[in-house]
Amino acid sequence: MPKKEGDNRAPGQIPENERDYYLERRYPSFGNLVPRDVASRNAKYVCDEGRGVGDTKLAVYLDFADAIKRLGEDTIRDRYGNLFEMYQRITADDPYKVPMRIYPAVHYTMGGLWVDYNLMSTIPGLFVLGEANFSDHGANRLGASALMQGLADGYFVIPYTIGDYLASADLPKTSTEDAAFQTSENEIRDMTAKLLGIKGKKTVTEFHRELGMVMWDKVGMSRTKEGLEEAVGRIKELRKEFWENVRVPGNPSQLNKNLEFAGRVADFMELGELMARDALERNESCGGHFREEYQSAEGEAVRDDEQFTHVAAWEFTGAEQTPKRHTEALAFENVKLTQRSYK
Amino acid sequence: MSEMTLKLSVWRQENAADAGKMVDYTLPGVSEHMSFLEMLDVLNEKIIAEGGDPIEFDNDCREGICGMCSLVINGIAHGPEKRTATCQLHMRHFKDGDHITIEPFRAEGFPVIRDLTVDRSSFDRIIAAGGYVSVNTGNAPDANAVPVSKEAADKAMDAAACIGCGACVAACPNASAALFVGAKISQYALQPQGDPERARRAQRMVDQMDAEGFGACSNHAECEAVCPKGISIMNIARMRREYLKAIIS
Amino acid sequence: MAASTSVSNAFRSTIVKKILMSLTGLGLVIFVLGHLIGNLSLLFGPEPFNLYSHKLMSLGPLLWVIEIGLVAFFLIHAWNGISVSRHNRRSRPVRYAKTGDAGGPSKKSLSSVSMIFTGIILLVFLVIHVATFKYGAYYTTVIDGVEMRDLYKLVYQKFHDPLYVFGYTGVMILLGFHLRHGFWSAFQSLGTNHPRYSGPIYTIGVVLAIVLAIGFIAIPLYTYFN
């Protein structure tokens, strides 16, 4: 980063003593090898300070010059070639020559459907695997942990548990004549008709973006009580407006992705509010959840293991009803809970 | 940030039964940093605001790895950039005032569902015909229990890079799916894990490919040129060897 | 694992059709090459050419075997070619409004997209060609006391008919186009693609196409202008 705000020089033009290697400065022993949640939070902080680079001012530099000097371009190409290629497609910058401009992006919600030990959800026979379930999460959720869960669930768990379920469960034949099917079908028909019938002024995309902004600012990498309360209120308003003023074009009898998208954004608004509520309840900083009120003098996450060594699972109690929070205690047998430090 | 105004001719088709036609649009305010799909998003927002129905086009990850995006742009599947899926094609490769023709992937095996969206489930049926390996149930095998040479692993990986987008079919003058099927057969044929079903797989997948109405490969190699993953037609040659071995064994 | 599909089924597969076309195509390339070398004797006057054709015609039953083989090769090649081409046409019922070339590793060219057209013209030419010379006017001549067919006279006559000469020249250019894509394509269809050999095979195909086309064009033009 340039030290000064509003420094518009090209990265190569900024002399060494006018650069701020903020991760190396704050985390001397780990530098830019700190975990992603820490790196992401810090990237956002420096951009919030107004020191972001590029056209959007929402970016920090990731410079591979030293690494290329040390290991050679071929080694770097071998390790990151595909990522560099993707980056070049998007930005038209060559990351082998010019520092990359990076910024954290929402990638994953760090949560999912509650499942039992056999990966079965609260609906009998509905098994939830991989990222869709709640079971394996840490402070980060990318590459290695996603693969780990994919392998663990898909390779080691489900081949045993689903077979056991199919062998032992009584599974009577059901047809589309079943009352439950009729109810669901009618609900979907009603919702489709409702969405198409609003014929408001704002497009689904506009709502999606507004919701995204609220989530990003208030329910993202760094959260506060005030921000979360504001988010819950804002999402409620947005949801109300959505059901009064959304414009979904087309008709229900043909391929209509905008309609599908509208249904998804409606879901996102419920999920977004739930996430804000959950974050509001958890008065500690833990893993991907960082509450600014609960941090050490050094800016590290401070947990409250007394109160929160549990998983919170929320029960849906009906549309526009406050969901119910259930807790499931976490027991650690082989590891001791400690405070991490990257200083 | 430079902005451009584009003239777009887009294929519009209500549904499979509709004849369809090209419709012209003028789109101002296109940023060079937009991806091609983001440009279409902007056009769709404009169409919706004007009371029309948005253009349906397939897309999902927009990172060039899922294989959902398609489009034939100015006569070239996935547009003018080499080894680039439409979602990774950026508007900086076009200039102000350009006239861009956008059509769906066209093939008997890819019937149009609506506008630019085509039904590519024929690929799923080809995979279902043989694109799998049998694994014994019970304990998961130890890692490295089945040795694979680096060379074979690399070649298999190159074939497995196929994201199944179908650009090969779209670009082929014969609408042949040979590159897709070749890549899928190759990724298993190159590794010991694929051995048990090897002959059966080659035969079933090729037969399914023909049954889906895809054309025969005449070795134009246009597929390799448009493939976002640059998959080589060497995999087509391997498919033929595998098939030949299968029918004479 | 034994093959589950029957042999008759396999012959309906596009891959097997292309393999048959490749094998017959490569066989025909060898024939055409031999034909050209034999025909070059035309450049040395009536005697060498008539002796050469007499020798061929005296092969007896062997000639029959060769001729039947050639007819079979042509028919298999043409039949499968037409069948595959019809299949390919059905594979894209709605054409593109705008077509482009992706360039790069693509080998799509005028020659590759016109195979069916050049092929059909060559087939028609072949019938006319055989009718003109094999079943054309039977002149005789005596060389070294042996009476034999004076095929040279017939060729000489035909190669002084401007319509025939330029028609022939045109068709031979198309033969070059057909082989330019056909030769390397045959190897690819047979499943032989190797990082080391495919490049040279492609180049050989181009050279072969040019050599054969020029060779076959040179003879009538030389005869016509002399």
- Kind of pairing between the strands at A202-203 and A60-62: unpaired
Q: Would you list the DSSP string of B2-64?
A: -EEEEEEEEEE-SSTTS--EEEEEEEEEEETTSBHHHHHHHHHHHHHHTT-PPPP---S-SSS
Contact between A163 and B137 using a beta-carbon 8 Å cutoff: yes
Contact between B48 and A156 using a beta-carbon 8 Å cutoff: no
Cα distances (Å, whole numbers) of residue B174 to A53, A86, B222? 49, 31, 10
Q: Which percentage of chain A shows pLDDT scores above 90? A: 58
Q: What pLDDT was estimated at residue A320?
A: 82
Answer CATH for B121-248 from 1.10.1060.10, 3.30.720.200, 1.10.10.410, 1.10.490.10: 1.10.1060.10
Helix, strand, or coil here: C38? Answer: helix
Domain range list for chain B: 3-114, 121-248
Whose CA is closest to B2, among A95, A55, A59, A97?
Answer: A55
Question: Which residues in chain A are contacts of B14 at CB distance < 8 A?
Answer: 254
- Give me the mean pLDDT over the B136-149 stretch: 77
Beta-carbon neighbour count of residue A8 at 10 Å? Answer: 9
Q: What pLDDT was estimated at residue B138?
A: 65
Range B3-114 classified under CATH 3.10.20.30: yes
Q: Would you list the DSSP string of B190-245?
A: TSGGGSTTHHHHHHHHHHHHHHTT-B------HHHHH-TT---THHHHHHHHHHHH
Chain B (86-145) residues lying within 8 Å, Cβ to Cβ, of chain C: 101, 103, 106-109, 112
Contact between B48 and A92 using a beta-carbon 8 Å cutoff: no
- Kind of pairing between the strands at A202-203 and B117-118: unpaired
Which tokens hold the place of B62?
């927009």
Chains A and C lie in contact, requiring 3 or more CB pairs less than 8 Å apart: no
Q: Would you list the DSSP string of A249-304?
A: -S-TTS--HHHHHHHHHHHHHHHHHHHHHHHHH--S-BTTB-BTTSB-TTS-B---
B39–C contact, CB cutoff 8 A: no
Q: What pLDDT was estimated at residue C7?
A: 66
Contact between B225 and C94 using a beta-carbon 8 Å cutoff: no
Could you give the angle at which helices B198-211 and B234-248 cross, rounded to 10 degrees? 110
Contact between A89 and B48 using a beta-carbon 8 Å cutoff: no
Write the residue in B220, B225, B248 that is nearest to C103 by C-beta. B225
B61–C contact, CB cutoff 8 A: no
Q: What pLDDT was estimated at residue C9?
A: 74
Contact between C94 and B106 using a beta-carbon 8 Å cutoff: yes
Res. A145 pLDDT band, cuts 50 70 90: confident
The Cα of B51 is separated from the nearest Cα of chain A by a number of Å equal to 8
Write the residue in B41, B48, B92 that is nearest to A247 by C-beta. B48
- Give me the mean pLDDT over the A194-222 stretch: 95
Task: Tell the burial category of B214 from Cβ atoms under 10 Å away from its Cβ (0-12, 13-18, 19+).
Answer: buried
pLDDT at A343 over 50: yes
The Cα of A285 is separated from the nearest Cα of chain B by a number of Å equal to 31
B136–A contact, CB cutoff 8 A: no
Contact between B56 and A89 using a beta-carbon 8 Å cutoff: no
Contacts of A115 (CB under 8 A, 6+ apart): A121, A127, A128, A133, A134, A135
Contact C179, B226 (CB under 8 A): no
Res. B45 pLDDT band, cuts 50 70 90: very high
Q: What pLDDT was estimated at residue C149?
A: 94
Contacts of B138 (CB under 8 A, 6+ apart): none
- Give me the mean pLDDT over the B210-236 stretch: 97
For A260-309, write each residue's pLDDT tens digit.
999 999 999 999 999 999 999 999 998 788 999 999 887 888 999 999 99
pLDDT at A53 over 60: yes
Whose CA is closest to A248, among A211, A195, A207?
Answer: A195
CB burial readout A23-57, b (16+ within 10 A) else e: beebbeebeeebebbbbbbbbbbbbeeebbbbeee
Beta-carbon neighbour count of residue C5 at 10 Å? Answer: 15
Q: What pLDDT was estimated at residue A181?
A: 95
Q: What pLDDT was estimated at residue C1?
A: 37
Res. A141 pLDDT band, cuts 50 70 90: low
Q: What pLDDT was estimated at residue A1?
A: 83
Q: What pLDDT was estimated at residue B1?
A: 53
Task: Tell the burial category of B74 from Cβ atoms under 10 Å away from its Cβ (0-12, 13-18, 19+).
Answer: middle
Identity at A296, one-letter amino acid code: S
Q: What are phi and psi of A333, to 5 degrees?
A: -100, -40
For A2-36, write each residue's pLDDT tens digit.
888 888 888 888 888 899 999 999 888 888 888 88
Contact between B63 and A86 using a beta-carbon 8 Å cutoff: yes
A92–B contact, CB cutoff 8 A: yes
Q: What pLDDT was estimated at residue C3?
A: 44
Q: How far apart, in whole angstroms, are the C-alpha atoms of residue A231 and residue A217?
A: 9
A249–B contact, CB cutoff 8 A: yes
Contact B118, B70 (CB under 8 A): yes
Chain B (157-216) residues lying within 8 Å, Cβ to Cβ, of chain A: none
For B77-126, write each residue's pLDDT tens digit.
999 999 999 999 999 999 999 999 999 999 999 999 999 999 999 999 99
Q: How many helices (H) and strands (E) does chain B have?
A: 8, 7
- Kind of pairing between the strands at A246-247 and A202-203: parallel
- Give me the mean pLDDT over the B231-245 stretch: 96
Residues of chain C with pLDDT under 70: 1-8
Write the residue in A156, A159, A255 that is nearest to B117 by C-beta. A255
Contact between B222 and C106 using a beta-carbon 8 Å cutoff: yes
Q: What pLDDT was estimated at residue C6?
A: 60
Question: Which residues in chain A are contacts of B1 at CB distance < 8 A?
Answer: 55
C192: left (phi over 0), alpha (psi -120 to 50) or beta: beta
Q: What are phi and psi of B100, to 5 degrees?
A: -115, 125
Write the residue in B101, B171, B234 that is nearest to C98 by C-beta. B101
A109–B contact, CB cutoff 8 A: no
Top-confidence range, A27-31, A137-141, A339-343, C201-205: C201-205
Chains B and C lie in contact, requiring 3 or more CB pairs less than 8 Å apart: yes
Choosing among B206, B244, B247, which should be mutated to test the C contact, i.e. which has the most C CBs within 10 A?
B247
Q: What pLDDT was estimated at residue A37?
A: 81
Q: What pLDDT was estimated at residue A30?
A: 87
pLDDT at A213 over 50: yes
- Give me the mean pLDDT over the B161-173 stretch: 98
Q: What pLDDT was estimated at residue C147?
A: 93
End-to-end CA distance of chain A: 20
Q: What is the pTM of this model?
A: 0.91
**Mean pLDDT of chain B, nearest integer:** 95
